[in-house]
Structure 1
Amino acid sequence: MVNSASFSNSKYAIVGGGLMGRLLAVALAREGSQVELFDKGHSDASGATARIAAAMLAPLAESAITEDSVVRMGIHSLPRWKELISQLSTPVFFQQDGTLILWHRQDTSDAERFTAHLERNCRNNSLLQLPQKLNNEAVRDLEPGVADRFTQGLFLPNEGQLDNRQLLDALLIELNSLKVHCHWNTEVNPDELRKDHAYKAVIDCRGTGAKDGWNNTLRGVRGEVIRLYAPEVKLKRPTRLIHPRYPIYIAPKENDVYVVGATEIESDDLSEMSVRSAMELLSAVYTVHSGFAEARILEMATQCRPTLKNNLPEIKTRKDKGLSDLIMINGLYRHGFMIAPAVLDCALELLRSGDSNTALDLGLNITQETNNSEASLCV
């Protein structure tokens, strides 16, 4: 872990008060640093990507669509989430009861390909646990409410989820307790802050707001999410539906609230959800459990996930004579909550020593930019 002496009495500016900005600010302040946090939005994170998320922690499920490095970051992050949440003064819902995968009979061939893909990934990564094939009786044991509609499924052990909004609120309370100087509703340019030599480093965590620092390689990928109040449903764990058009996920939170999503659109459009997306999400979720027919729609929300050209996260550093160091963290894409603790650990190591063994182990790319050129520090 990070040596606290390396941060004692150092001063940092963090730009962006979403998930990564708050995690870093809390970690640095706990280690004795002076931290200033700047965000153009309000303290409730209403404009942050992290607020519009299901916050599923599912490295095996995501291995079907992402690179091995992201899977390794997700595996690293699961136990770290337990540690990070246990250190907060306010409770945050955290669950690690696995993921249930379901499909309708007509989609069996897609499910077989999906299963084979996961099994191959498990053979290539010994830290992943093989998915368990379920018959109707096993489905009933795990989730009685869906057994009348699904005769088979997959269970992915050890995967989890947390409540993203509880976490953001708990981190805000921690920021205030640690006396982090937060500048909400304040838009700043990280390069301007670098002129203040009091900062050891300026850390840019602005997500899609940082496009100017990533040479046009950063884009937004639109996601659409519906929050439902469905007291008749009683799902116990995150559930995913394999479907050729809308492979939805359903994440049950506390108090009968469910976060439902699937859509992923190559666009930075932040307008309201389309009728088509709403109809497809709601139709699909009803096919999973009939209790959703009487659910109440609490919210339909959209947000753009910050995504780099390779769909992988990256940390980029810049050193310029006469300016504070600049560290840019971005590209967490759809895996923000799943990999955030891993990215946090790598960033803290980088701040301490200028390098990160954890990044090398996990495959997180760290590059150093100087005079419009880049050199890779960790791959």
Structure 2
Amino acid sequence: MIRILGAGVMGLVIASELAARGHPVELVDPEPAPGPHGCSWWAGGMLAPHCERESAEEPVERHGLAAIDWWDRHAGGVQRNGTLVLTLNRDRGELARFARRSTGHRTVDGDQIAALELDLAGRFAAGLFYEAEAHLDPRAALSALRDRLVAQGVAFHRTPPEAAPETLIDARGLAARDRLADLRGVRGEMLVLRCPDVTLSRPVRLLHPRIPLYIVPRGDGVFMLGATMIESDRRGIVTARSLLELLSAAYALHPAFGEAEVLETGADARPAFPDNLPRLRRRGATIFANGLYRHGFLLSPAVAAMAADHLETGITPEFMDEVSR
């Protein structure tokens, strides 16, 4: 039996990968189901490996491309409408910089932007369209993974069973700092708005030198807004400054957001290693899987596949440290 500690995005994805390969697994988490206690609950759900390449290492793009199909197979709900990147005229230099540092895009003019998103017609003169990207609802995806595992007979426990497992996989996120000294927290803040006067069919990123915004449609006039990356392990607190900047950026995207209803605010700390790439570390019968940073939905399928490959063959995959510490 393989026991997994933590039923956030990492734990659920590893369990799904192992179960699909025929391995007996069980999960241990003090919470009964995905919810606001986990940082993946607050994710944007953008499967945007090309856009992420602008500020991330090459493996994020390479493994992130395969993640789109993985989520479609295992959870469903993936919308393959691409990503639209825009900027205000005064910040056109940001658009050129973003284009230089990323791949998989084509330049679009004002008419093409209007064809993609009618409600943005006449508001932006130029942008970048990343056609191969996708998005999903993180909360629905996490719940779908859990429901599918339960249907397959995988047991979920609130506390560890007495019987020792053959292998233990620690996927507790930031809680694993008690065993991983170089793990740090990076706080992300978000809010959810209802704005029935705006319709978007894909994530939109509005570039800004100080506070870039991403906005992800959830359907029925509901949108998730996020942007912040703050070096802090403080959880659950959305600062007034972040809230003001997020709302100001949303208003700049479309003035109708000024009349939007604020449904929810939230924040959590993402677990990250110094280079912002994930790690697998083995100490005896325990494998630590952690450090997804802001790429939980993009990189968890790759980390899960590497963990499964290691268990099956003993190989040292790309994200596994050669020497455990």
Q: Smaller-chain TM-score range?
A: over 0.9
- Residue of structure 1 equivalent to 2:196: 231
Q: Which runs of structure 2 are paired with 1:12-23 in the superposition (5 Å)?
A: 12-23=2-13
Secondary structure of 1:333's counterpart equals coil
Secondary structure of 2:216's counterpart equals strand
Q: Which runs of structure 2 are paired with 1:357-376 in the superposition (5 Å)?
A: 359-360=317-318, 364-369=319-324, 373=325
1:302 to 267, 271, 277: 267
- How far does residue 31 in structure 1 lie from its aligned partner after superposition? 4.1
- How far does residue 196 in structure 1 lie from its aligned partner after superposition? 4.9
Q: Which runs of structure 2 are paired with 1:60-79 in the superposition (5 Å)?
A: 60-79=50-69
- Residue of structure 2 equivalent to 1:263: 228
The answer to whether structure 1 residue 252 and structure 2 residue 236 are counterparts is no
* Alpha carbons 1:307, 1:330 under 8 Å: kept: yes
- Residue of structure 1 equivalent to 2:118: 144
The 2-side partners of 1:296 and 1:27 are apart by 39
Q: Which runs of structure 2 are paired with 1:17-166 in the superposition (5 Å)?
A: 17-85=7-75, 92-118=76-102, 122=103, 129=104, 131-166=105-140
Secondary structure of 1:17's counterpart equals coil
Q: Which runs of structure 2 are paired with 1:283-322 in the superposition (5 Å)?
A: 283-319=248-284
Any idea what the Cα deviations from partners look like across 1:315-371, whole Å, max 9, x if unmatched?
11122xxxxx11100000001111221111111111111125xx44xxx344442xx
* Alpha carbons 2:17, 2:305 under 8 Å: kept: no
* Alpha carbons 2:110, 2:126 under 8 Å: kept: yes
Secondary structure of 1:278's counterpart equals helix
1:350 to 297, 310, 320: 310
Q: Rg: which structure is higher?
A: 1
Distance 1:60 1:280, change over 3 A: same
TM-score normalized by the length of structure 1? 0.82
- How far does residue 291 in structure 1 lie from its aligned partner after superposition? 2.3
Any idea what the Cα deviations from partners look like across 1:21-42, whole Å, max 9, x if unmatched?
1122233334444322111334
CA RMSD in angstroms comes to 1.8
Runs of at least 5 residues in structure 2 that lack an aligned partner in the other structure: none
- Residue of structure 2 equivalent to 1:322: none
The 1-side partners of 2:254 and 2:322 are apart by 47
The 1-side partners of 2:246 and 2:139 are apart by 22
Any idea what the Cα deviations from partners look like across 1:267-300, whole Å, max 9, x if unmatched?
0011421111111101110110122122211110
* Alpha carbons 1:17, 1:45 under 8 Å: kept: no
The 2-side partners of 1:112 and 1:23 are apart by 36
Q: Which runs of structure 2 are paired with 1:327-342 in the superposition (5 Å)?
A: 327-342=287-302
- Residue of structure 2 equivalent to 1:126: none
Percent identity of paired positions between Structure 1 and Structure 2: 38
Distance 1:115 1:32, change over 3 A: closer
- How far does residue 175 in structure 1 lie from its aligned partner after superposition? 2.6
- How far does residue 67 in structure 1 lie from its aligned partner after superposition? 0.5
TM-score normalized by the length of structure 2? 0.94
- Residue of structure 2 equivalent to 1:203: 169
- Residue of structure 2 equivalent to 1:175: 149
